Structure 1
Amino acid sequence: MGIKATLSKVFAYFVNRQLDNIRQNAVTLQQKAFTDLVHAAKDTAFGKDHKFASINNYEDFKRLVPVRDYEELRPYIERVTHGEADVMWPGKPAYLAKTSGTTSGVKYIPISKESMPEHIKAARNALLSYIHETGKADFVDGKMIFLQGSPVLSEKAGISTGRLSGIVAHHVPGYLQKNRLPSYETNCIEDWEEKVDAIVGETAKEDMRLISGIPPWCQMYFDRLSAVSGGKKVKDIFPNFKLFVHGGVNYEPYRARMEEAIGFKIDSIETYPASEGFIAFQDSQKEKGLLLMVDAGIFYEFIPSEEYFNENPTRINLKDVELERNYALIMNTSAGLWGYSLGDTIKFVSKNPYKIAVTGRIKHYISAFGEHVIGEEVEQALMGVANEEGIDIVEFTVAPQVNPAEGQLPYHEWFIEFGKEPNDLAAFALKVDKVLQKKNIYYFDLIEGNILQPLIVNSLKKDTFINYMRSQGKLGGQNKVPRLSNDRKIADELKAYTQN
């Protein structure tokens, strides 16, 4: 074991003691975060507009600060992006994270000098938690790869601007820089396919021990590696590869195919970063859930997802959450986002300590007929049957068909790219439908009442989703295929890729 690995175990011990404080005092730390954030921003334009100086408790805050999404906060954010100081947080942001939304087009998320270090600390602590629990630290002595966006930053009103992963690249601790790949020059390549090929060229003969990125794009990297090595498994290319760090999407639909490409069941760490803040990470290989970061300059609020679109939904803080209930996640941050609806849904799987699972997007559900089927239900139904039957799923998306052919009932239409296809596609679809009915009583009622017919699966050609994302100019980076839609924009385009 090298000196870095040895020292990392000592560091991991002390960091775990700090994390124990989070585990044991989450509600108290959230109350402190609330008080500190409101006090810090009381003299900003937003603070004055919303009477922060008169806020004494959470009830005051809820009364004075409404929940808003990006579009509703845009008037304030545009003042920030035009260079005005003291708008939502004291001073100007250190960075603007450039991201894209399904409804808002390009979005600019402020990152302050106070919030930036929390992104780095959480990512670091995810690795140190793994080291502390497992005792495995050899990966820090080898090479590590982070598949991410370009670190090239532009300026907007004098504020450095770029993708979150590119911004973070400028803050990777010095002790990791020597081990880190790809090179800066390769990381700057904008075209994703060209970039992946360059990364393969740089890494194929290196001692890669940790690989990190969004699963579908890591899969693309693994496929290219295998192709240039004559069909070898990743474990034979990188014999010391022992840890996979992922985030951005639910890993389960990708796990079987990733492990097939790698060649064994690899240890993995799930993270939950967002441009708005690093929210949670997996701190244990033995316990389910992601540890919520309650001392990272974020005060969290939660709205039961079924109430989200109500005129006056229930709005609670951490101490009042219930286990296994879906909530829309609301954030208040040390970068000046207030009552900010992230768009994600989560559920708590533990309250001692507070651990969450990401269940989907508040707007990514299907309720064309009142069923309100959510991403978690769809993914669990599909992967449960696929794993049982040894079926390999590459990617999928689902949309309602409200105008079926004459004489047919409406239905949910699934578009699935299989790695290994079922022998009987119709029988596979029926099994998935039966599981989905068990998970969602409203869907069950619609099937039983002959309002809907069971779901229909379309098998897609190889590389369909890569080709689709390429056609949309969204190949690679942090871009993801929406799993659920209430319209047929994606579905209608995918029709051209169905198997004959």
Structure 2
Amino acid sequence: MGIKAFLSKPLASWVVSRQQRWMAQPAQAQEQVFQSIIRKAENTAFGKDHHFKDIQTPQEFTQAVPVRDYESLRPYFDRLKQGERDVLWPGLPLYFAKTSGTTSGTKYIPITQDSIPNHINGAKNALLNYIHETGRAQFLDGKLIFLSGSPVLEQISGINTGRLSGIVNHHVPGYLRTNQLPSYQTNVIEDWETKLDAIVGETLHQRMTLISGIPPWVQMYFDKIMARTGKQIKDVFPYFNLFVYGGVNFAPYRAKLLESIGRKVDSIETFPASEGFFAFQNQQHDPGLLLLADSGIFFEFVPAEEFHQPNPRRLTLAEVQTGVNYALIINSNAGLWGYSIGDTVKFTSLYPHKLVVSGRLKHFISAFGEHVIGEEVEGALKDAMAEFPEVAVTEFTVAPYVSQTDAPSYHEWLIAFDTPPHDPAQFAKALDLHLRRRNSYYDDLIAGNILATLKVTLLPPDAFQQYMKRQGKLGGQNKVPRLSNDRTLADGLLAIFGR
């Protein structure tokens, strides 16, 4: 065992011991966060506009600060971009995290001196929890690959600006930099396919022990390695034993990734975003993600079915229940207030408070009143794949098809199969049945002949990669929407690959 692995164990024990204190009293931890960030932001422009000095409780805060998205808060963000100080948080942001928005174009999310530890410590503590639970620390002595965006930063009013993964790259602890791949020279390559070829070249003969990234882009990395070597990943990287991922549901990609690897490896799921690092998987046997209640973010939870109502309930961590879909609202030491990040979550346990990401507020289908959400389509696909073990899915999306004739409308599933089902018609039938079981509104529409059963359109394995490349969104942190209420993505795919 190397010195890094050896020293990580007492550090892991100390971190978990501190963590257990706030895990036992999460409501108190959240109250402390709330009071800290409110008091510190009293004299900011936002704090003055919303009378922070008069706010003492979360209930008073909800009366003063409405739920907003990026577009609603844009006037404040624009003032920051112009170099104005003390707008949302004291001083100027340390960084802007640049991210793509579906309705707001490019978004610039502030990261402050106070909030950067949330991003860094969240990822670090996820690994330390793993070490503490399993006793496995040898991965720290090998090479660690983080598939991320470019670390090159631009300047906006003197503020460093770039992709979150590129920003975080500048804060990798010094003791891990000698382990980290790819090199800086490779990481700054903008074209994803060129960059991926260079990453393969750099890592192919290294002692890789940990690989981290969004699953579909990690799969592209594996595909290139297997194409070049003719071997499974386990034979190329025999010491690779830990996969760290986040950003999308792993379930649709799991079968193909594990087939590519050729054996089981441990994995850690994380819940990061440009707005903050919210949760991580702290136990291998439990897929629930531990919500970080003491990390500079005060969380609110709006029941998802109430989100678009004029005055939805805004619950604190002490008021949530398991099994309910909530829109996640954050208030943070990055200066985000009443901010809807667009994700929905569902708690799997309380004390400790663990959750799963259940979908996106804007990613659903309700063209016919069915309100099908991401969790339901991903679950239906998982169940159908269990009945057809030969199936491996590369990527998929679902869109409504509104009939212009007397024939009924339907949901169209555009699926890129790495290995298609032996009987596509039966697979589609199973998929439809599992979705009907998960969504009673959809079931009623099928039973009433308002909708026809879903149709599956088979696409080539690299269909989504080609589409994303044409859109200039290949690689990095870009993700394919699971669900759409229109056919922009579906028709874009069909324009390339036909029906």
Give the TM-score category using the shorter length: over 0.9
- For 2:291 and 2:443, locate their aligned partners in 1 and report how far apart those are by CA, in whole Å: 34
Match of 2:241?
Answer: 242
Kindly provide the CA deviation profile for residues 345-388 of structure 1, in whole angstroms up to 9, marking residues without a partner as x.
00000101001100110010000111110000000101111122
- For 1:243 and 1:192, locate their aligned partners in 2 and report how far apart those are by CA, in whole Å: 24
- For 2:262 and 2:85, locate their aligned partners in 1 and report how far apart those are by CA, in whole Å: 52
Match of 1:21?
Answer: 21
Give 1:498 shift.
4.6
Match of 1:271?
Answer: 270
- For 2:133 and 2:448, locate their aligned partners in 1 and report how far apart those are by CA, in whole Å: 51
Match of 1:324?
Answer: 323
Kindly provide the CA deviation profile for residues 221-277 of structure 1, in whole angstroms up to 9, marking residues without a partner as x.
011111111x10011001000000001100110000000111112110001111111
Q: Secondary structure at the match of 1:241?
A: coil
Match of 2:55?
Answer: 55
Within 5 Å, which residues of 2 pair with 1:92-107? Answer: 92-107=92-107
CA-based RMSD: 1.0
Relative to the length of structure 2, the TM-score reads: 0.99
Match of 1:312?
Answer: 311
- For 1:319 and 1:370, locate their aligned partners in 2 and report how far apart those are by CA, in whole Å: 33
Match of 2:5?
Answer: 5
Give 1:496 shift.
3.4
Which amino acid in structure 2 is aligned with residue 397 of structure 1? T
Change beyond 3 A, Cα 1:22–1:497: farther
- For 1:179 and 1:467, locate their aligned partners in 2 and report how far apart those are by CA, in whole Å: 32
- For 1:22 and 1:127, locate their aligned partners in 2 and report how far apart those are by CA, in whole Å: 19
Match of 2:449?
Answer: 450
Match of 1:399?
Answer: 399
Residue 180 of structure 2 is aligned to residue 180 of structure 1: yes
Counterpart contact for 1:80–1:87, Cα < 8 Å: yes
Within 5 Å, which residues of 2 pair with 1:58-457? Answer: 58-229=58-229, 231-390=230-389, 391-404=391-404, 406-457=405-456
Counterpart contact for 1:153–1:160, Cα < 8 Å: yes
Kindly provide the CA deviation profile for residues 380-415 of structure 1, in whole angstroms up to 9, marking residues without a partner as x.
1011111221111111000001125x2310110110
Counterpart contact for 1:460–1:497, Cα < 8 Å: no
Match of 1:474?
Answer: 473
Counterpart contact for 1:343–1:362, Cα < 8 Å: yes
Kindly provide the CA deviation profile for residues 450-491 of structure 1, in whole angstroms up to 9, marking residues without a partner as x.
111110000002310000000110000000010100000011
- For 2:460 and 2:147, locate their aligned partners in 1 and report how far apart those are by CA, in whole Å: 26
Q: Secondary structure at the match of 2:394?
A: strand
Give 1:130 shift.
0.5
Which amino acid in structure 1 is aligned with residue 29 of structure 2? L
- For 1:462 and 1:305, locate their aligned partners in 2 and report how far apart those are by CA, in whole Å: 34
Which amino acid in structure 2 is aligned with residue 276 of structure 1? E
- For 1:462 and 1:397, locate their aligned partners in 2 and report how far apart those are by CA, in whole Å: 13
Kindly provide the CA deviation profile for residues 40-59 of structure 1, in whole angstroms up to 9, marking residues without a partner as x.
00100000000000001111
List runs of 5+ in structure 2 lacking aligned partners.
Answer: none
- For 1:383 and 1:174, locate their aligned partners in 2 and report how far apart those are by CA, in whole Å: 40
Counterpart contact for 1:288–1:349, Cα < 8 Å: no
Counterpart contact for 1:110–1:335, Cα < 8 Å: yes
Counterpart contact for 2:114–2:333, Cα < 8 Å: yes
- For 2:287 and 2:421, locate their aligned partners in 1 and report how far apart those are by CA, in whole Å: 30
Which amino acid in structure 2 is aligned with residue 407 of structure 1? D
Relative to the length of structure 1, the TM-score reads: 0.98
**What stretches of structure 1 move > 4 A for 4+ residues in a row?**
497-500
- For 1:387 and 1:201, locate their aligned partners in 2 and report how far apart those are by CA, in whole Å: 36
Q: Percent identity?
A: 59
List runs of 5+ in structure 1 lacking aligned partners.
Answer: none
